[in-house]
Chains A and B, each alone.
Chain A
Amino acid sequence: MLYSEKVMDHFTNPRNVGEIENADGIGEVGNVKCGDIMKIYIKVDKGIITDVKFKTFGCGSAIASSSMATEMIKGKSIEDALELTNKAVVEALDGLPAHKVHCSVLAEEAVKAAVKDYYDKNGIEYDETKFCDGDCCHCSKHSEE
């Protein structure tokens, strides 16, 4: 099989699909030209992510990575969400094929982009260099392991 059972489970029964009206932060990364776009919505209450939803255009592993990433940050603090790495997503999914690792990178960046949007909306200061510009086709920040 191309994908682990975990990936297939999150792909065929994705968790937290949808949109949040009046979300506190929205992050969108990817490029339709490359074949994947992820959009993550977060609801934040007293620094805790109380709700999270996503929509993804992309392959099976992109959908599974977004589903897993939303599960991993739900109920966590904003700071914890920022610590989410693509590696952790891959591990939680019991692995991804080598050429699909970029999907997990996209999930990590989508979460960060949502947090950044939350910071921007609330006038909270942050370190710009920790966030990507969302141009995944030309991203050199992450190596595909």
Chain B
Amino acid sequence: MRIYADNAATTKVSPKVIEVMLPYFDKVYGNPSSLHTRGQEAAEALYEAREKIASLIGAEAREIYFTSGGSEADNQAIMSAARAGAKKDKKHIVSTKFEHHAVLHTLKRLEREGFEVTLVDVNENGIVKAEDIEKAIKEDTCLVTVMFANNEIGTIQPIAEIGALCHEKGVLFHTDAVQAAGHLDLDVKALSVDMLSASAHKFHGPKGVGFLYCKRGVVLKPLIEGGAQERGKRAGTENIPSIMGMAVALEEATSKIKENTEKLIPMRDKLIHGLEKIPHSRINGDKEKRLPGNVNICFEGIEGESLLLLLDAKGIEASSGSACTSGSLDPSHVLLSIGLPHDVAHGSLRVTISEETTDEEIDYIIKSVGEVVEYLRGISPVWEELIKGKREFILK
């Protein structure tokens, strides 16, 4: 048995998406910039995809820019807002401590270029408070960027509230919606967002394609220079098969949000209840305001990479925020941001299920995690000290 429980990393491409993509490789393979019939067929398809995606998030077709994925969309949104801000002497950006590295590393780069960045704290449940964002905004703030849902702990942020206050203060607002698109309802108008990033492979679309929504009237500067594709905002011949696949994937996922949520939440909660019965463990992130498929838990006295590999040997494919999985000495910045000490953050496990996950698989995951945790604790000197009272438990 092999159970895929790493859907926050990537998802399986839906059969319908693959079917839709195929003709664009060898039949409608024209370059949309070409004036001949084959080129114009591709151009029409591209327009349809743009319209479809726009209508699914409450935007207009001309507000959608296709990119190579979520990271590029995040980079472009932030760099563009920063360049536009600098022209008006506004060189301050507000974000949070637990953003994706596509955002954090772009902000670091801007800091080196002389921008000031305020990273707002998140609470122990992994939620940022809109009022804390408000307090961080200054006269010279050119951008607020807050993720829609966290990629590790799945917590959903008060995006509409933050959007409303940014608009009130006249500050641009970008959200990295990579984990949310196709899983939560997105309406850019209702959320008052100016820019939004999404990535197709997180909602059963192909890898290497995503989009940036940028509200009409908001200045967007290109990251990649070259041809006039994407209205001059993103050079490079369009990845038509993937874009077509992404549009259908988002349509399919969006149409199933209600159905999937109703199916996933009981399974997720069963997993949470089953796993938190393991002594000295803790669920990371708010249990209610979280993505329907996300479970993140820490176990004291063990290390996450060995947990992952032993689960893999049992056929379960999951993920961890342990330092060993990233090759650095520090565990996940997300887990540290919600106040977990290093010791405990090393023993984290992320299980992200999809609508294809079954009840039997949930039972098997609970049973297997229990066995592996017990085994690893049995060979852990840290666990030995904990149970002998030579070291104090952090997770009661």
Counting CB contacts under 8 A, is B160 at the interface? no
Segment from A57-65, A69-77, A84-92 that makes contact with B: A57-65
A38 to B346, CA, bound (A): 15
Residues of the A chain whose Cβ atoms lie less than 8 Å from the Cβ of B331: 35
Known interface pairs A35-B324, A63-B306. Does A137 touch B381 (Cβ–Cβ under 8 Å)?
no
CB pair B306 A34 closer than 8 Å:
no
Chain B min CB distance to A63 (Å): 6
Counting CB contacts under 8 A, is B237 at the interface? no
CB pair B379 A63 closer than 8 Å:
yes
Residues of the B chain whose Cβ atoms lie less than 8 Å from the Cβ of A35: 303, 322-324, 329, 331, 342, 346
Residues of the A chain whose Cβ atoms lie less than 8 Å from the Cβ of B303: 35-36, 57-59, 62
Known interface pairs A17-B379, A35-B331. Does A59 touch B342 (Cβ–Cβ under 8 Å)?
no
Residues of the B chain whose Cβ atoms lie less than 8 Å from the Cβ of A32: 342-343, 346, 382
CB pair A55 B379 closer than 8 Å:
yes
CB pair B305 A59 closer than 8 Å:
yes
Counting CB contacts under 8 A, is B383 at the interface? yes
A4 to B348, CA, bound (A): 24
CB pair B379 A34 closer than 8 Å:
no
Counting CB contacts under 8 A, is A11 at the interface? yes
Residues of the B chain whose Cβ atoms lie less than 8 Å from the Cβ of A2: 309
CB pair A60 B306 closer than 8 Å:
yes
Counting CB contacts under 8 A, is A14 at the interface? yes
A138 to B227, CA, bound (A): 50
A136 to B199, CA, bound (A): 40
Chain B min CB distance to A117 (Å): 14
Residues of the B chain whose Cβ atoms lie less than 8 Å from the Cβ of A104: none
Known interface pairs A58-B303, A58-B324, A137-B329. Does A37 touch B382 (Cβ–Cβ under 8 Å)?
yes
Known interface pairs A35-B323, A35-B324, A39-B381. Does A57 touch B309 (Cβ–Cβ under 8 Å)?
no
CB pair A57 B310 closer than 8 Å:
no
Interface size class of A (residues with CB under 8 A): 20 to 34
Residues of the B chain whose Cβ atoms lie less than 8 Å from the Cβ of A37: 380-382
Counting CB contacts under 8 A, is A12 at the interface? yes
Indicate with 1 or 0, residue by residue over B379-393, a CB within 8 angstroms of chain A CB atoms: 111111000000000
Known interface pairs A33-B342, A59-B303. Does A99 touch B381 (Cβ–Cβ under 8 Å)?
no
Chain B min CB distance to A114 (Å): 13
A19 to B385, CA, bound (A): 12
Interface size class of B (residues with CB under 8 A): 20 to 34
A31-61 with Cβ < 8 A to chain B: 32-39, 55-60
Residue of A nearest to B345 (CB): A35
CB pair A99 B327 closer than 8 Å:
yes
A33 to B343, CA, bound (A): 5
A1-34 with Cβ < 8 A to chain B: 2-3, 8, 11-12, 14, 17, 19, 28, 32-34
Counting CB contacts under 8 A, is B30 at the interface? no
CB pair A14 B379 closer than 8 Å:
yes
Residues of the B chain whose Cβ atoms lie less than 8 Å from the Cβ of A137: 329
CB pair B323 A11 closer than 8 Å:
no
Chain B min CB distance to A65 (Å): 12
Indicate with 1 or 0, residue by residue over B334-345, a CB within 8 angstroms of chain A CB atoms: 000000001100
> Which of B324, B329, B342, B384 has its CB near the most chain A CB atoms (within 10 A)?
B324
A17 to B310, CA, bound (A): 17
CB pair B323 A58 closer than 8 Å:
no
A8 to B383, CA, bound (A): 23
Residues of the B chain whose Cβ atoms lie less than 8 Å from the Cβ of A99: 327
Residue of B nearest to A2 (CB): B309
- The contact of B323 among A12, A28, A34, A60, by CB within 8 Å, is A34
Chain B min CB distance to A55 (Å): 4
A37 to B302, CA, bound (A): 10
Q: Which 8 A-B pairs have the closest CB atoms?
A: A59-B324, A59-B305, A39-B381, A99-B327, A55-B381, A57-B382, A57-B380, A35-B346
Please give 18 more A-B residue pairs, beta carbons under 8 A apart, in addition to A19-B384, A39-B381, A57-B382: A2-B309, A11-B309, A17-B379, A33-B342, A34-B323, A35-B322, A35-B323, A55-B379, A55-B384, A56-B379, A57-B301, A57-B380, A58-B306, A59-B322, A59-B324, A60-B309, A63-B379, A100-B324
| Contacts A/B (CB < 8 Å), 26 sampled | A2-B309, A3-B309, A8-B309, A14-B379, A17-B379, A28-B381, A32-B346, A33-B342, A35-B324, A35-B329, A35-B331, A36-B324, A55-B380, A56-B379, A56-B381, A57-B302, A57-B381, A57-B382, A58-B303, A58-B306, A59-B305, A59-B322, A59-B324, A60-B309, A62-B303, A63-B306
